[in-house]
Amino acid sequence: MTDGPSGRNLDGDAPVAESVVETGTATITDDAELERTIGLTGGLAIGIGTMIGAGIFVFPGLAGGEIGTAATASFTVGGVIALLVALPTSELATAMPRSGGGYYFISRGLGTLAGTVIGLSLWLGLVFATAFYLVGLGYYALDALAQVGIAVGAGADAVVSAIAVLAGVGFTVLNVTGTENAAKLQNGIVALLLSMLVAFLGFGLLEAFGVVAVDTPSGQAADVWGIGPVLSVAALVFTSYLGFAQVATVAGEMKDPGRNLPLAMVGSVVIVTVLYVLTIFVATNIFTRDALLSAGETAMVEVGRALLGPAGALVIIVGGLLATMSSANASILSTSRAIYGVSKDALLPRWASRINLRYGTPHVALGMAGGPVVVLAATGQVRLLAEVASFLHLIMYGLMCVALVAIRRDRPEWYDPDFVVPGGPVVPVCGALASFGLIAFMNGLSILVGIAVIAATAGWYFYYARDVSLKGAL
Amino acid sequence: MTRVLVPIAVLDGGSVSPGLISLLGAVDVTVLGYHVLPEQTPPDQARLQFEERATSALEDVSQEFAAAGGAADHRLVFTHDREQTIERVTDEVDADAFAVPGTTGDVDRLLVSLSGDVDADRVLSFVEALVGDRDIGVTLFLAAGERPPAGDDDATDADTSGERDTVAVADDAVDAGDADHDRPHTTQARLAVAADRLREAGIDVETTLAAAGSPFDALVDAVPGHDAVVMGERAPSFRSFVFGEESERVAAASVGPVLVVRDRRAADEADADATPAAGE
């Protein structure tokens, strides 16, 4: 191919490039075939499984505690932005169904600098997100302990951090050594969670519209309907919408990608948005702002208790544990693919994508995911972790929309997406503006940390991979 | 030409025994080298690291097959799902059978199972092609414990449902050589007809009719004295879901290689259905 990637990095490695033939069931290279094994259900399970843990089980307390029922608007805003990005991402993914997802699209659409920054911050963004899920898991584990009668008094925060760290180490070790396919388990967990939620929300809605009545504690604090607070909460809870980009990181393994990728990405966003809005509606309908605020990360457990008694609380605790685990696990998997995508293009040393012989797993990449996750999880800073993860993802989302506009304008010969976003540049332009705009409503410290990460990744580009050229290369 | 797919776990020490190589000397062979990856590992990443090693191993194996007589080629697939890969490649190369490799020396006698709702006509043609003019004996095996399928004798009535009957297919096979058009309705007769057909092709045939008990156990009991098993592909059942594919279990229980002849009846009917539609 005339416009293949070129150049060498500091170690003298060039990007790996070859021409391949994509079919619905396999990617065919010169000497080998790569089987596509993930179907639509698997894709939806990755998307929903990654997202649902945060949006349903961690954020209702935080978001509802801040602005009450107005948080439904925040989740709606988040969902609309996610959809505005999911559509352009689908078009890019069907044209380039490769491992690496957002990184791959941006490096091909906008060049190596943007590619390096996004590739590395996708890795780090996933690391922040995973740490956030693990801290959420820690809070649920704490509640589970309380439920069985082990009360943790003053040192609760330390216990949460300790559980998060242990879980982080556990997941990393399991992923390095585990050769059993957990994909079917993941599908089952997502199906179980969805059915639990539908039952729970159904009952909650009946209560909300007065068909059944439960005792709801009274409170004085009113909802806060205002553009500023709603958007600021939307920026916080946007971490609940990161999962569809994870679907794109396994694009190289999806069966019939032209059909399944758009369906899995758009479908998972739509499904979780509906669930989130209903959940927050039910939660804020039962508890007022101050009650949710005092219950914190696991406010949903109290909601469950109020609706269905101890059984309800138990269901939510089990659901919360499963959901945060599946989020964390799915994120670690996508992280190793993100690192592989970058390393294949010589933007990270080649050894980052080594596979170990004994287990057949990419132990270096998994370590590069798990190590920083454990460090970050130890901080126990739910909000900061969530917002930095959102920040790094939002930058990627915005740039993916820009990349779509750029690629459509350049029209490389190979660009032939199966799925085309209707309406010309309207959706990607809105998506980019919304993604970048949401960042402005974040907490100052989160923005600062995010900018520092971006600056560090740009510095890496100038140090290591300045001579690599990827733009327009398939 | 008859083609057999031989899947081997190319990087996990998978190999093909000399007996299987010489057994497949009279047919074409596609060696499918696969490497199953845990889901943590993108297949592309594994390819980057292992492709060269796997390709050279595969080339060696396919050369051995070519040296034994038949034409041989090879494919290399990195996958998360072994069954899906074998199924896809079997379809793509249009193989008549696939092998479950096992250990064996020179093959003197094959055990050919006709139990159950298998495509007996195809199994028999495959055995003829496999044996060729070599001095390999065949024991035809049929478990009577299986209820003989109720006879739907109208073999032309193929377009009504997805299923045609074993008896009807056996009739097709018989009609060529059997002037009386006597329809074999008992398992004994089915076995005799099949044996006659192979004898006409010049093959030394014995028959074994297992009277009672589980067809699977009876087949495994019949294995001693045989070097390889040929059986028909059967539709996935609850048993295969719980215990694994029957062919895999036979291979595990008998140690030797198993050749599974694919059932083309469903595919043939799909083609038959598709042709008029395309003509409209």
Cβ–Cβ below 8 Å for B44 and A340: yes
Compute φ and ψ for A21, nearest 5 degrees: -110, 125
What is the rounded average pLDDT for all residues in chain A? 86
A149 close to B (CB below 8 A): no
Q: Give the C-alpha separation, B5 to A117, whole Å.
A: 46
Residues B30-86: pLDDT tens digits? 999 999 888 888 888 888 888 899 999 999 998 988 888 888 899 999 998 888 899
Chain B residues in contact with A174 (beta carbon < 8 A) = none
Collapse the DSSP code of B7 into the 3-class scheme (helix H, G, I; strand E, B; otherwise coil) and give the result: strand
Alpha carbon distance A132, A372 (integer Å) = 12
pLDDT-wise least confident of A452-466, B201-215, B241-255: B241-255
CA B45-B38-A107 angle, to 5 degrees, is 35
Angle at which helices A102-110 and A299-344 pack, to 10 degrees?
50
- Give strand ranges (E) for B120-198: 137-143
What's chain B's average pLDDT? 77
Closest of B115, B108, B278, B270 to residue B187, by C-alpha: B115
Q: pLDDT confidence of A298, banded at 50, 70, 90?
A: confident
B166 pLDDT higher than 50: no
Cβ of residue B80 closer than 8 Å to a chain A Cβ: yes
Quick one: average pLDDT of A333-348? 86
Q: Nearest residue on chain A to B56, judged by CA atoms? A: A31
A-chain residues near B38 (CB < 8 A):
178-181, 359-361
Reported confidence tier of residue A179, pLDDT bands at 50, 70, 90: low
Q: Identify the structural domains of chain B with CATH numbers, from first to last.
A: 3-100 (3.40.50.620), 109-273 (3.40.50.620)
Interface predicted TM-score (ipTM): 0.84
pTM of the model: 0.82
A12: left (phi over 0), alpha (psi -120 to 50) or beta: left
Of A16, A33, A99, the CB nearest to B75: A33
Fold of A21-464: Amino acid/polyamine transporter I (1.20.1740)
Using the CB atoms, write b or e for B201-225: b if 16+ within 10 Å: bebebebbebeeeebbebbbebbee
State percent of chain A over pLDDT 70: 94
Taking the C-alpha atoms of residue A111 and residue B275, their distance in angstroms, rounded to an integer, is: 49
Structure tokens at A104: 């791959």
Q: Which of A246, A238, A248 is nearest to A404 (CA)?
A: A248
What would the mean pLDDT of A213-241 be, rounded to a whole number?
A: 78
Q: Which chain A residues contact residue B80 at CB under 8 A?
A: 35, 37-38, 181, 183, 253
**Contact residues, chain A, for B43 at CB < 8 Å:** 27, 34-35, 252-253
- SS3 (DSSP) at B205: strand
Mean pLDDT of B220-239: 79
| Pick among B10, B44, B86 to test the A interface (most A CBs inside 10 A) | B44
- State residue A286's pLDDT score: 83
CB A31 within 8 A of CB B54: no
Q: Given CB atoms, is B202 within the 8 Å cutoff of chain A?
A: no
> CB pairs below 8 Å between A and B: how many?
99
Of A245, A235, A267, whose CA–CA distance to A436 is shortest? A235
How does pLDDT run across A366-395, given as a tens digit for each residue? 999 899 999 999 988 888 999 999 999 999
Name which of B38, B51, B78 is nearest A178 (Cβ-Cβ): B38
Q: How far is CA A291 from CA A220, A222, A314, in A?
A: 10, 11, 19
Closest partner residue to B38 (CB to CB) among A29, A35, A179 is A179
| A5 residue type, one letter | P
Residue ranges covered by each domain of chain A: 21-464
- In the chain, the amino acid numbered A324 is T
Would you call B88 and A179 a contact, using CB atoms and an 8 Å cutoff?
no
Out of B38, B44, B47, name the one closest to residue A181 (CB): B38
In this predicted structure, which of A372-376, A400-404, A465-469, B212-216 has the lowest mean pLDDT?
B212-216
